[in-house]
Structure 1
């Protein structure tokens, strides 16, 4: 078992604070670090030995590709083959930021474990000063999935990382709570003007269209997710799940409230510990053993996204066995929020 060191970032980010963490990354060790989305578990993307440790620490399936993080556009030259002009426009408008673009990988540029045998690699430039400083100092492309055990809710604080990976990795850069709270949007470019969303996330379809007004947005059929090798993280496997059984309920507020109340009463009669995750205006409507809110009202979806994973982990900490969560409209960041909720519930979604 490793001794996992924590570097606490306080006040203005100074380069010297991250020197040790960057040296460990260069030496082939695993270092978790904050991004604007969730905490990532970083390794030198060029080193198969380093990347192998990611899969071992997370318990992650080996056919699930990893996203490579860079600190400057200049790093793309060593990573990828020529790519469409549309990709350049998205980079100019939305990098740094929570957008991963799947690009043709340069042979031998990264470990084959990063691409899971595909001819492409997902790349992003995080919008977080500590992440950019760390990657820049390490001077290597950094493969970094979320810094949690595979299948668990993604970590939005350093404490979440320690909960899952203490003793399994070299260190954690503690930069406080993350901002977006959901992973990056992953896109691939189909043709000259089609943006295919492989995983919804921190960049909304509306933002993609603002960056490329002449492009069309496409999403692959759900059936392809289950049968094909995943072209992006978050496509194939159950993710983000709490330990309790979870159901998403969506629809008319009155019907939804009645449905969840009845379900809670039934579960309690069976001796199960119950939980409800709802928007703030409905906090007092349920008598579950643990009632958590998304932190805001139904129109404050950015706050809900930021709070989701911490709420799922709190249900685990309190031993909740059955959970009902209020759904939302699949617009804006709500598309990504519902995607993560459905994954966490194993696609148990009741629409009233």
Structure 2
């Protein structure tokens, strides 16, 4: 059931469902999330069941503000406070030490928890309404509202295509960012970038005033985090990343047979494929449309998607990460 998320009545109805232990899909500025009361381990279990997601793969908890984050975090180190001030609300998730009594299921059983304050007005209104429930819902566990490992949804229609009609979906329009948040681990003494997003590494470093480490530079494995499995974000069709010149050569060799292949490329290619989409030269715009394009190709029934590899530039890190994981399936 899709409701207009701009209407107060829709927000109130969704908050009541969540307070009763149910699931609600809601928009954020990144992608649509499948939400449940993060403080109710039974409700959170419903997310894992609906998505077919392993229960030890942690979820991100959405909160209304930094004060609400402290209801789940045992401590908020200074570096995390600086990042909250710079980027919340916005597309940044912080991994923090978890209060032992809160959010065990959402954390996948770990002693750390991922927290984010979304910037989307519908998500914010929903969080505020949940906080007014009796008892209050302090945060929403909210992974992407799709089957586990598949392409994330950026519209309410995408969500409805993944689940049965019984799921309440708040429609907030197409998401403006289009890929999931960056994730920074602040639980180990120095900030570690676990997943890139539209925020660049240099932007995050400038805000936190410290070097941002990468997982491979750390002496231990660190906490598990959402969306960091090798294979993820995958459409039904097989994705192959290619250099633009190699792609043109392959299209020329295939001739008429190339019509069955979907192509998403920045280069102006000669192809007979009716499934050819130009990738924007801008990384932010590509992120905004990436998942919608992959879903569009799936809807067209193609079996193979050729994607021109993104440029080796920091602003493309988030798009490159999603495409590499989609191609790994």
Same fold (TM over 0.5): yes
| Alpha-carbon distance between aligned partners in 1 of 2:159 and 2:315, rounded to the nearest angstrom | 24
User: Offset of 1:77 from its aligned partner?
Assistant: 2.5
2:248 is paired with a residue of what secondary structure?
helix
- Kindly report which structure 2 residues correspond to 1:1-352, keeping only aligned pairs within 5 A, or say none: 5-9=1-5, 13=6, 15-110=8-103, 112-139=104-131, 140=137, 141-167=139-165, 170-189=167-186, 192=189, 194-212=190-208, 214-221=209-216, 231-250=224-243, 253-262=244-253, 264-265=254-255, 268=257, 273-279=260-266, 281-282=267-268, 284-294=269-279, 296=280, 298=281, 300-346=282-328
2:157 is paired with a residue of what secondary structure?
helix
| Alpha-carbon distance between aligned partners in 2 of 1:49 and 1:120, rounded to the nearest angstrom | 19
Q: Is the 8 A contact 2:14 2:126 kept in 1?
A: yes
2:241 is paired with a residue of what secondary structure?
strand
1:239 is paired with a residue of what secondary structure?
coil
1:216 is paired with a residue of what secondary structure?
coil
Runs of 4 or more, structure 1, over 3 Å off, are 13-17, 227-230, 253-256, 259-262
Distance 1:242-1:223 versus aligned 2 partners, 3 A rule = farther
Q: Is the 8 A contact 1:202 1:336 kept in 2?
A: yes
Distance 1:333-1:30 versus aligned 2 partners, 3 A rule = farther
Q: Which residue of 1 aligns with 2:134?
A: none
| Alpha-carbon distance between aligned partners in 1 of 2:12 and 2:292, rounded to the nearest angstrom | 29
Compute the TM-score of the two structures, normalised by the length of structure 2: 0.91
Aligned residues: 323
Segments of structure 1 that go 5 or more residues without pairing to the other structure are 348-352
Segments of structure 2 that go 5 or more residues without pairing to the other structure are 132-136
| Alpha-carbon distance between aligned partners in 2 of 1:76 and 1:17, rounded to the nearest angstrom | 25
Q: Which residue of 2 aligns with 1:350?
A: none
Compute the TM-score of the two structures, normalised by the length of structure 1: 0.85
